[in-house]
Amino acid sequence: MITVTEEAAKQIKLSARQGKSEGMPLRIAASKNDDNSIHYGMGFDDSKEDDISITSEDVEIVVSPVSAELLNNTVLDFVELEPGKHQFIFMNPNDPGYTPPQED
């Protein structure tokens, strides 16, 4: 379903500590934009009755059934895109704009 990289897990755990959200699952949401690209959101939230729950790199993740379809086989990473600028990225083969990373 969703895989969290080691770097992303470190940042998620740090964010949970800083935001006093330790013990809460990370909710990842996805929805389609008008151009069929996918919009992502995430934050710490309690799980709901129909949520799907998974654990990756010791991070509990919850997603709605609708988001789960859009997030199937997605990898969440935390990378440095520019010097000193880190951010989460979603590598999602279900997103029409996604290009897999090229091996060097």
1-47 residue pLDDT tens: 899 999 999 999 999 999 999 999 999 999 999 998 899 999 999 98
69 backbone dihedrals φ, ψ, rounded to 5°: -60, -40
- Among 3.40.50.300, 1.10.240.10, 3.90.660.10, 2.60.300.12, name the CATH number for the domain at 2-91: 2.60.300.12
Model confidence band, residue 74 (pLDDT cutoffs 50, 70, 90): very high
Q: What does pTM read for this prediction? A: 0.89
Handedness of CA 65, 70, 74, 79 (dihedral sign): negative
Amino acid at 46: D
Looking at residue 59, its pLDDT comes to 96
- Residues 6+ away with beta carbon under 8 Å from 48: 62, 64
